[in-house]
Each structure stands twice: as structure tokens, then as C-alpha cells.
A and B are shown apart, each in its own frame.
Chain A
Amino acid sequence: MPPRRRVRRRRNSRLVAIAFVLPALALNLLVIGGPTVSSIGYSFTDWNGITTPEFVGLENWRRLVGDEAFWNAIGNNFVYLLIFLTVPMAMGLVGAFMLSRIRRGAALFRVLYFIPYLLVSVITAQIWRNILDPEFGLASALNDVGIHWLDEVYFFADGRFALYSVAFVDNWHFWGFLVVLFLAAMQGIDAGQYEAARIDGANAWQEFWHIVLPGIRPTLTFALTIVAIGSLLVYDYPFILTGGGPAGATDVASLMVNRTAFLARDAGYGSAIALALSVLSAIFLVLFGFLRRREEEV
């Protein structure tokens, strides 16, 4: 082949390659990349979504720092985060470890645990709204056997319980996913390690602590990452179950973003809240990424 034709063919093949990747990149820039960049810009303006935005400097950020609603929402996000870093992680680890130790019925249990994760969030919410209803749910069933503990307990309407109730429902939906994730990782552990531990006379707890946990560390870090980011950005269950109420008891940052930007048409300030939230989740991502890298070095 003469050199010039080869050059043309190379250029041609490059053009084809670019044509194949172009739709994905264009779509991405339109929906994610472009709006992300402009979000940063709008956070310095008084934009209302319609008229030309005016630059207001750091005004939105000053407002954010003094906004009690924002700190309340972020505080709730952190409570949510603490709950999710402990409860579903523990349930997932226990469930997966027990599953890895049995032979008969493991497949059935795995299916049972995974079904809540498949349910659509609006329906999960409906299930628990019914069960925790003070008149028509568990409370009334308990009444029939003479127990009246739950008669006046309004799980979602009482500010003392609402956030924990919402987190409880979200956790019921989510923990089975962690079981399946952890179980897959545990099955990847070399069986010889168990043998060795048993010969040394290790009990179940020692096996869990010295073999299983170190064996699934990358998966553990991955799970911590998605749980942390998911808790900071949580939207569905607070939105469906309580809408952020009562009196802000279950308000979270992403609810506040939508409320501010779309209902109050305060898009500039909404962008600032969203940006603050994103920076926070980026910090967690970097933190866990650092953790993972250190693991790989070890």
C-alpha cells in the first residue's frame, strides 16, 4: 500500500471512531457536563430561571452560611449518614456471613433479602405507612391482643421519630443489597484460609474478624462509599413519606434544593445549595478513594 493511502486510511478510521463516540459525548455535555458548569456560574447570581441572571458575587454563599434551614437539613443528612454507616452495614455483614456458612437454603434466603431492594420506592413507602399507621396498622393488631404501646405513636408525623422512621424504611429497602454484595465478595475468599483457621481452632467470631473482614475490604470500602454518598444525596424516602416535615424534622439538602430552585424559583440560591452539597459528597469520594489507594499499596 502506498504511504499516502495508508495515511488517508488512518485518518478515515479516526473519523469513524470519533463519529461512534460523538453521540455519547454530545448527550453527556447537554444533560450533565454543560448544566454542571453553568450551575457553578449561577450560584453567584440571583437567577430565577427565566430572566437574565445578575451577578451578585458571594451573596448566595453568605446567605447559605447564615441559613438555619440549610444547617438543619445538612444535620439531618449527617444523622442519616451515621445510621446508614452502621445499621445496614452491620445487617449486611451479619446476613452475608451467616449465609456463607450454611449450605441448605442459602439461595432462598438470598432471594428473600433481595426482594425489598427491587420494590419501587413509592410502594415501599406505602407498605410501611400502612404498617406503622396508628389506627389501621401494627398498632391496631397489637390492640387486639391487649398491647397498647403504639396507640398514640405517629411514626412519621412526630418530630421525635420521623427522621428515624424514614431511615428505617429506607434501610429495610436497602440492606439486602449489601448482603448480596458482601456475599459475592466472601465467596471470593480462598477456601484454604478457612481450613487453616479451623485447624488453628478459630471460632466463628475469629474467622469473621481475621479472615472475612480483611478478605472483603475492597468491597467494604465500595459499600461505605455508596452508602455515604447515597445518604448525603438522599431524596426519595423523605420526599415520599414526610416531604421534609414535620417542621423540618426530616428535611434533607436535596429536598431543599428542589424546593428553593423550582417552587420558590430562587434558582441562583438553589444552585449554591446544590453546589455545597456536591462539594461535600466530593470530599467523601476523595476520602474513600484515598482509603482504597492505601489499601492497594498495603
Chain B
Amino acid sequence: MSILATVRDRRRERPVNRPPGGLGRTPVSYSVLVVLGLFAILPVLVLVFNSFKSSLEIGANPLGLPATLDLSNFAAAWRRGNMARGFANTAFLVAGTILGTWLVAGAAAYSLARLNLPGKRKIETYLFVVISLPVQMFIVPLFFLWVKLGLINTLVGLVVIYVALNTPFSVLLLRTFLVGIPKELDEAARLDGANEWQVATRVILPLSWPGFMTVGLVSGLGAYSELLFAVTFLIDVEKMPVATSFFQFSQGYSQLYNLVNAAGVIIVLPLIVLFLLMQRRFIAGLAASGSKG
């Protein structure tokens, strides 16, 4: 039997193991699920609808479908909200956080999982303790330390914080991926004359990329949406990521409902598209990071 046929068979088999149900047998479930679904999605639709309306139209028709699909709000929001700059800042934060976390946490996880590191247990315990520390425990001295180091009001300073915040969880997650790779593989590479760096990047990395994808997704998503550190550690509007500058914009121009809605759609669109493309990894990653967020 070909592999494809096996996969198809297994697919067909699956529903048998699952509890029975169907529209006819579970009308109560379906009605509850639809109500919950409407509760979740209608407010998002209102945002999308209103992003096409003029302020006047919003006043007359605050919740319903727009009369026309007018895109001028998006152009105006992009310009007046200076979103090009905001997205550039966000891109820097997200890329810096992902790369930094991969590098720092990846190296540490590699050492914990596969190298001859003394005091492994102690380091792991430290990481567990650090994960449970609330931000409030260190934010006050950190702020004044960043003032002293000249890192306040800089994107680099914020990236350093994000990388540090993501590292403990990422190390522990990546470690579980790295432990699973057979030792024989890197020993064979070493016998062939590869050094530690080559073993790590050429042998181990390709085998553990799902872990790195999850870590990248969680830390990148965090950097995209983070608010507390961004509003506390950045002062100039020119330096703010797009979500934080949206906040400033929406406070300052609360009457420009249409533009605020359009800007909101622009900001969340990349997230939703990304989620629809890689649902499984999103859910696994966010569940593993375990933040209330």
C-alpha cells in the first residue's frame, strides 16, 4: 500500500474514535457554539465594517455594513498615523527579538541538552524561578538602570529586554527538542572533524527547527503586541512601534473614528493572516508559553 493510501485510510478511521455527533444529534451544542462564535467575531466585523465608513456614516450607522467599499480611510490613516514609521520600528523590534532569542536561547538550550555543562540542574531551576517572576518585581530598577546605561528611549534597549524576557521559556522549550536528537549524530560529525559550532548549526539546527519556529513565533508575536515595556521605556513617538503609536493616535484623535478603525485593521491584518496560515504552530506555541497576555 502506498504511503498516501495509508494516510487516507488513517484519516477515514479517525472519526470512529471520536465521540459521535452531528448537526442532527447535537443541536444544543451547535446553538451554543454559534452564539459564542458570534460573540467572538461580530465585534471584529464591526471594526472592519467601520474602517470603510466616513465619520458621518459611522454616526448614522454605527454597527452595520458600509455603504461603499471606500479605501480612502486606509490611505489617510497610514499617512496621518505615520504608520510607515511605526511599522519600521515594529519590524526592527520583532526581527531583533526573534534573532536575539534564537541566538541566546538556542545556544543555552544546546549547552543544557547536549554539552558537558556543570551545574545543569541549578541553571534549570534558576530559569524556572525567573519564568515565574512578575515583571513588577524588576521593572523599577530596570528602568533607572536603562536610564543610566543610555538605553532608555532606544529600540535596541527594548530588544534587549524582550530577548531577556523570552529567553527562559525558550531555553526550556528548545531543550526538550534538542534532547530528543540522538547523540550518535553529533558524535559522528565530530569524528569527521566538525567543531562545536559546525555541529550545532549543520547537524542539530536542521533537526530542531520546529522548536525554533515556535519560539520565533511566540517571541515575535510578543514583540508585535507588547505594551507595558513599550510605553514605559520609549518616550519619543518617532521611536514607538505601530501598536503603541496607535494608542497615542487613538487617544489624540478620538473623534476620527474612521481613521482609527482603519489603522486598527491595518495593524491586526498581518497577525490574522499569519494565524490562518500556521494555525497549529500558533496554538501549540501560545499554549506552551502559558501567558494570559
In the bound complex, residues from chain A placing their C-beta under 8 Å from that of B244 are 122
In the bound complex, residues from chain A placing their C-beta under 8 Å from that of B47 are 123, 126-127, 130
Known: A98-B29, A267-B140. A111 touches B279 (CB 8 A): yes
Name the segment of A55-63, A65-73, A157-165, A228-236 touching the other chain. A228-236
Cβ B164 vs Cβ A191 within 8 A: no
B240 → chain A closest CB, angstroms: 11
Known: A36-B138, A122-B247, A136-B257. A102 touches B227 (CB 8 A): no
A18 → chain B closest CB, angstroms: 7
In the bound complex, residues from chain A placing their C-beta under 8 Å from that of B117 are 14, 17-18, 20-21
Complex-state Cα separation, A127 to B142, whole angstroms: 33
Q: Is A242 an interface residue (CB 8 A)?
A: no
Cβ B41 vs Cβ A115 within 8 A: yes
Cβ B228 vs Cβ A236 within 8 A: yes
Cβ A25 vs Cβ B123 within 8 A: yes
In the bound complex, residues from chain B placing their C-beta under 8 Å from that of A112 are 37, 40-41
A 160-179 binary contact with B (CB < 8 Å = 1; else 0): 00000000000010101100
A260 → chain B closest CB, angstroms: 9
Q: Is A89 an interface residue (CB 8 A)?
A: no
In the bound complex, residues from chain A placing their C-beta under 8 Å from that of B118 are 14, 17-18
Cβ B136 vs Cβ A278 within 8 A: yes
B 247-271 binary contact with A (CB < 8 Å = 1; else 0): 1001000000100110010011001
Cβ A23 vs Cβ B279 within 8 A: no
- Residue in chain B with minimal CB distance to A94: B32
Cβ B139 vs Cβ A257 within 8 A: yes
Cβ B33 vs Cβ A95 within 8 A: yes
Q: Which of B81-126 touch A at CB < 8 Å?
A: 103-105, 107-108, 110-112, 115-118, 123, 126
A96 → chain B closest CB, angstroms: 10
In the bound complex, residues from chain B placing their C-beta under 8 Å from that of A128 are 43
Name the segment of B3-11, B18-26, B65-73 touching the other chain. B18-26
Cβ A230 vs Cβ B22 within 8 A: no
User: Which residue of the partner chain, among A28, A35, A282, contacts B141 with CB atoms under 8 Å?
Assistant: A35
Cβ A20 vs Cβ B29 within 8 A: no
Consensus secondary structure, chain B interface:
helix
In the bound complex, residues from chain A placing their C-beta under 8 Å from that of B214 are none
Complex-state Cα separation, A183 to B133, whole angstroms: 28
- Residue in chain A with minimal CB distance to B31: A98
Cβ A194 vs Cβ B19 within 8 A: yes
Cβ B18 vs Cβ A274 within 8 A: no
B26 → chain A closest CB, angstroms: 5
A 96-139 binary contact with B (CB < 8 Å = 1; else 0): 00111111110001011111111111110011101101001110
Q: Is B187 an interface residue (CB 8 A)?
A: no
Known: A103-B18, A121-B225. A127 touches B116 (CB 8 A): no
Cβ B17 vs Cβ A191 within 8 A: yes
Complex-state Cα separation, A271 to B261, whole angstroms: 38
User: Which residue of the partner chain, among A20, A123, A172, A174, contacts B111 with CB atoms under 8 Å?
Assistant: A20
Cβ B160 vs Cβ A31 within 8 A: yes
In the bound complex, residues from chain B placing their C-beta under 8 Å from that of A25 are 108, 123
Cβ A24 vs Cβ B104 within 8 A: yes
- Residue in chain B with minimal CB distance to A186: B19
Q: Is B156 an interface residue (CB 8 A)?
A: no
Known: A31-B165, A240-B247. A172 touches B160 (CB 8 A): no
Complex-state Cα separation, A35 to B165, whole angstroms: 13
Cβ B133 vs Cβ A32 within 8 A: yes
Q: Is A214 an interface residue (CB 8 A)?
A: no
Known: A112-B41, A278-B137. A32 touches B228 (CB 8 A): no
Q: Is A181 an interface residue (CB 8 A)?
A: yes
A 33-71 binary contact with B (CB < 8 Å = 1; else 0): 111101100100000011000000000000000000000
User: Which residue of the partner chain, among A33, A104, A176, A239, contacts B23 with CB atoms under 8 Å?
Assistant: A104
Q: Is B193 an interface residue (CB 8 A)?
A: no
Q: Is A244 an interface residue (CB 8 A)?
A: no
Cβ B138 vs Cβ A32 within 8 A: yes
B182 → chain A closest CB, angstroms: 19
User: Which residue of the partner chain, among A13, A121, A222, A262, contacts B232 with CB atoms under 8 Å?
Assistant: A262
Q: Which of B237-293 touch A at CB < 8 Å?
A: 243-244, 246-247, 250, 257, 260-261, 264, 267-268, 271-272, 275-276, 279, 282-283, 286-287, 290-293
Complex-state Cα separation, A240 to B247, whole angstroms: 8
The 4 A-B pairs of least Cβ separation, nearest first, read A230-B292, A31-B164, A17-B115, A20-B111
Query: In the complex, given contacts A21-B112, A94-B36, A126-B47, what are 19 additional A-B residue pairs having Cβ atoms less than 8 angstroms apart?
Result: A21-B107, A28-B126, A28-B167, A31-B164, A35-B145, A49-B143, A109-B36, A109-B37, A120-B224, A120-B271, A121-B243, A127-B43, A191-B18, A253-B136, A258-B232, A261-B139, A274-B136, A274-B139, A278-B133
Query: Which A residues have a C-beta under 8 Å from some C-beta of B?
Result: 10, 13-14, 16-18, 20-21, 23-25, 27-28, 30-36, 38-39, 42, 49-50, 91, 94-95, 98-105, 109, 111-123, 126-128, 130-131, 133, 136-138, 140-141, 172, 174, 176-177, 180-181, 184, 191, 194, 204, 222, 226-227, 229-233, 235-236, 239-240, 253-254, 257-258, 261-262, 267, 270-271, 274-275, 277-278, 281-282, 285
Would you give 19 A-B contacts (Cβ < 8 Å), ordered by A?
A16-B196, A23-B107, A24-B107, A31-B161, A31-B164, A35-B141, A91-B36, A116-B44, A122-B247, A123-B47, A130-B50, A130-B261, A136-B257, A137-B62, A141-B64, A230-B291, A236-B227, A240-B227, A274-B136
